[in-house]
């Protein structure tokens, strides 16, 4: 009776004491002894995590990349002086500071001048360097004016002012100016009928101030709206609005691309998960004999589940982290290969990938183990 009590008390103490050192030793040895299977399971996990990370990274970043491509369309916000009035002095400086670091703001001033043989032609004064940044992808310009009194002549206006490359004269309200046609411009729109000169030359000659500022604001739809609101407050006497042709079409295409990428990402991550699941299931069912042995030695069902779950979670976590690193590298490479600018690694994706990896590893481990729990250890040890 006393012996029985002693044994039961020892057993209780033993049961209460933590088995940590044995636990970790078993886990590490399991991996070391069955290196081959553990490594292939880990590899599957790394590849799946890499693919998932690359896809998620792309999904988050591609929008920013595509928006940059859409900025080639030129201005998406315009500031117009209200009819009959001019923009207040210093408006351009205020607009430039309000439109943010990625924005380009270009002033335009217009006047109707006459050529020496009496034809009317529209002359525009602008900041030609900034126009090149704003519209360079679609203004087909043979040569940009650099010096004072150089002019860029639209290819239809060239028929009126003379195409031979000789300097020509234009007069506005009695004042004449002599311009050198340095290059021709072709756009297929209203610009083809105009002559463009620098704003300094224009104001010196006509005295007409700029009436329009075209702005290319970078960022998402909300950021652009914020710029418009800020400009509206800064310049209450002017009309500020988005160029809806550009902004609405951009929002439409980006929305469709985003949906397509999301679907692609989900499909690919699902496939990668299946790859991991099948490899891990194989690895776990390989450990049947270890499981049976531990059960025969007296491990409780819960402890066994805990042990294998911890193993699987460790595998999932390590694989996910390495996979994350590889995936980020792949995403950066894709960004460079396709968009010629690297994709910035999004570390916000790491928790999702880590949790996903651990979850899949756990699912792969728990299912076979809970199935095996019902089987007698002896059967497994016998080899059936």
Window 145-174: residues binding another protein (CB under 8 A): 156-157, 159-160
Q: What is the DSSP letter of 116?
A: T
- Asked if 181 touches another protein (CB under 8 A), the answer is no
Residue ranges in 214-253 that form contacts with another protein under rule CB under 8 A: 239, 241-246, 248-249, 252-253
Name the one residue in this structure whose structure tokens are 């990349």: 65
Closest CA to 181 of 208, 124, 207, 142: 142
Pair of tokens at residue 69: 């491509």
Contact criterion met (CB below 8 Å) for 380 and 372: yes
Locate all alpha helices (DSSP H) within the chain, ordered by sequence: 2-16, 20-33, 35-70, 91-98, 128-135, 158-161, 199-206, 221-234, 244-286, 288-296, 301-334, 349-372, 377-382
Based on the shown chain and the rule CB under 8 A, indicate whether residue 112 belongs to the binding site for another protein.
yes
Please state the closest distance from residue 59 (CB atom) to another protein, in A: 10
Site size with another protein, rule: CB under 8 A: 80
The kind and range of the H/E element at 336 are none
Work out how close the CB of 249 gets to another protein at its nearest, in angstroms, rounded to a whole number: 4
Pinpoint the alpha helices (H) of 122-209: 128-135, 158-161, 199-206
Least distance to another protein, CB of residue 11, Å: 33
Candidates 10-18, 21-29, 60-68, 318-326; binding stretch for another protein (CB under 8 A)? 60-68
Task: Give the range of 7-15, 61-69, 174-182, 294-302 binding another protein by CB under 8 A.
Answer: 61-69
Is there binding between residue 69 and another protein (CB under 8 A)?
A: yes
CB-CB contact of 70 with 216 (8 Å): no
Q: Which is nearer to another protein, 57 or 99 (CB)?
A: 57
Question: Which of 188, 222, 297, 298: binder of another protein (CB under 8 A)?
Answer: 188
Q: Indicate which single residue of 268, 321, 363, 367 sits in contact with another protein (rule: CB under 8 A).
A: 268
Q: Which two tokens stand for residue 296?
A: 């025969």
Check residue 190 for interaction with another protein (CB under 8 A): yes
- For another protein, the binding residue among 6, 93, 237, 274 (CB under 8 A) is 274
Q: Considering only 166-174, 218-226, 281-289, 318-326, which stretch makes contact with another protein by CB under 8 A?
A: 281-289
Residues 5-44 that bind another protein (CB under 8 A): 44
Compute the distance between CA of residue 275 and CA of residue 366 in angstroms, rounded to an integer: 17
**Residue (10 or 249) nearer to another protein, CB:** 249
- From 179, 174, 207, select the one nearest 194 (Cα to Cα): 179
From 7-15, 26-34, 229-237, 336-344, span contacting another protein (CB under 8 A): 336-344
* Cross-strand bridge partners of residue 275: none
**CA geometry: angle at 118 spanning 115 and 124, to 5°?**
40
Nearest approach in angstroms of CB 90 to another protein is: 23
Query: Residue 322 Cβ, how far from another protein at the closest point, in Å?
Result: 16
Binders of another protein among 81-100, rule CB under 8 A?
A: 83
Residues 37 and 289 sit within 8 Å (Cβ to Cβ):
no
Site residues for another protein, 286-305, by CB under 8 A, read 286
Among 132, 137, 176, 341, binds another protein (CB under 8 A): 137
**Which CB sits closer to another protein, 229 or 248?**
248
Tell me which residues in 361-380 interact with another protein (CB under 8 A).
none
Q: Which structure tokens are listed for 380? A: 């497994």
Which tokens in the block code for residue 112? Answer: 């109707």
- Pick 137 or 176: Cβ nearer another protein: 137
In sequence order, which residues have a C-beta less than 8 Å from that of residue 23 and are 6 or more positions away?
307, 310
Residue from 133, 176, 174, 128 nearest 153 by CA: 128
């Amino acid at each position: 009776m006393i012996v029985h009590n002693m044994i039961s008390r020892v057993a209780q103490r033993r049961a209460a004491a933590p088995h940590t050192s044995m636990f970790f030793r078993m886990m590490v040895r399991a991996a070391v002894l069955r290196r081959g299977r553990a490594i292939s399971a880990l590899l599957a996990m790394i590849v799946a995590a890499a693919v998932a990370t690359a896809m998620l990274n792309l999904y988050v970043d591609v929008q920013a990349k595509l928006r940059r491509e859409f900025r080639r369309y030129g201005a998406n916000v315009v500031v117009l002086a209200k009819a009959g009035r001019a923009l207040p002095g210093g408006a351009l400086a205020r607009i430039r500071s309000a439109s943010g670091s990625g924005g380009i703001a270009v002033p335009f001033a217009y006047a109707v001048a006459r050529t020496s043989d009496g034809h009317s032609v529209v002359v525009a004064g602008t900041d030609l360097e900034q126009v090149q940044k704003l519209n360079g992808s679609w203004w087909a310009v043979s040569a940009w004016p650099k010096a004072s009194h150089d002019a860029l002549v639209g290819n239809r206006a060239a028929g009126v002012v003379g195409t031979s490359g000789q300097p020509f004269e234009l007069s506005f309200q009695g004042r004449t100016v002599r311009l050198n046609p340095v290059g021709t411009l072709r756009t297929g729109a209203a610009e083809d009928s105009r002559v463009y000169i620098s704003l300094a030359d224009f104001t010196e000659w006509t005295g007409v101030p700029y009436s329009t500022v075209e702005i290319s604001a970078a960022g998402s739809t909300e950021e652009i709206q914020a710029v418009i609101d800020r400009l509206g407050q800064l310049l209450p006497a002017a009309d500020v609005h988005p160029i809806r042709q550009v902004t609405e079409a951009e929002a439409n295409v980006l929305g469709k691309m985003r949906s397509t990428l999301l679907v692609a990402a989900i499909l690919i991550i699902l496939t990668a998960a299946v790859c991991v699941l099948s490899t891990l299931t194989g690895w776990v069912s390989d450990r049947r004999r270890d499981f049976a042995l531990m059960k025969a030695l007296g491990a409780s069902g819960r402890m066994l589940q805990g042990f294998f779950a911890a193993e699987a979670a460790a595998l999932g976590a390590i694989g996910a982290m390495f996979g994350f690193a590889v995936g980020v590298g792949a995403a950066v490479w894709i960004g460079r290969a396709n968009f010629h600018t690297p994709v910035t690694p999004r570390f916000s994706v790491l928790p999702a990938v880590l949790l996903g990896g651990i979850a899949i590893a756990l699912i792969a481990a728990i299912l076979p183990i809970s199935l095996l729990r019902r089987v007698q250890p002896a059967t497994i040890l016998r080899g059936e």
